[in-house]
Amino acid sequence: MERTLAIIKPDGVARGFIGEIIRRLEKEDLSILAVKMIWMTKEQAKGFYRVHAGKPFYESVTDFMSSGPCVAMVLEGKDAINVYRKLMGATNHKEAAKGTIRHDYATNIEKNVVHGSDSPQSAAFEIAYFFNELEIFKS
């Protein structure tokens, strides 16, 4: 079993996709172990995306991620990181496969509706960024 952090980004929340995205991940073998809505400050968004510090999109993506509420979730399942990344589609929605969340709903490379951890190391960091152990349901 593996855990991953999923986020429905401010554009996904504002455009009313929370239910649709949760429906899609529940159809996969992914269990939701924790869920919360959070509106990050700019500093909190910078901390979350610190691996991208210095990249050209860092300021802009952290402005965007602190522009409104997000829904953060801990997902668990066999190969959960890859299963959820497949469901999301490529970062750039123009390259995302048909039927993926980003293909269907993203409007540009930044406003791409969802985030998912890209490795077990980033999942551990990202889950702990939003949730403490008491908030995560034990399956």
Which are the catalytic amino acids? 115
What whole-number distance in Å separates Cα of residue 8 and Cα of residue 12? 6
Question: Helices (H) and strands (E) in the chain — how many of each?
Answer: 7, 4
> Using the rule CB under 6 A, is 90 a contact of ligand CMP?
no
Q: Give the shortest CB-125-to-ligand CMP separation in angstroms.
A: 13
> Using the rule CB under 6 A, is 117 a contact of ligand CMP?
no
Which range, of 34-42, 94-102, 105-113, 124-132, touches ligand CMP by CB under 6 A?
A: 105-113
What whole-number distance in Å separates Cα of residue 54 and Cα of residue 132? 29
> Using the rule CB under 6 A, is 39 a contact of ligand CMP?
no
What whole-number distance in Å separates Cα of residue 65 and Cα of residue 50? 13
User: For residue 41, how many other CB atoms are within 10 A of its CB?
Assistant: 10
- Residue 3: which residues within 8 A CB-CB, separation 6 or more? 33, 74, 75, 76, 80, 123, 127
**Residue among 110, 122, 129, 136 that touches ligand CMP (CB under 6 A):** 110
Residue written as tokens 């980003």? 102
Q: Give the shortest CB-91-to-ligand CMP separation in angstroms.
A: 5
Which residues, listed in sequence order, are joined to residue 36 by a DSSP beta bridge?
72
**Residue among 44, 67, 91, 122 that touches ligand CMP (CB under 6 A):** 91
Q: Give the shortest CB-20-to-ligand CMP separation in angstroms.
A: 18
Q: Give the shortest CB-88-to-ligand CMP separation in angstroms.
A: 8
Q: Which residues bind ligand CMP (CB under 6 A)?
A: 52, 57, 61, 91, 109-110, 112, 115
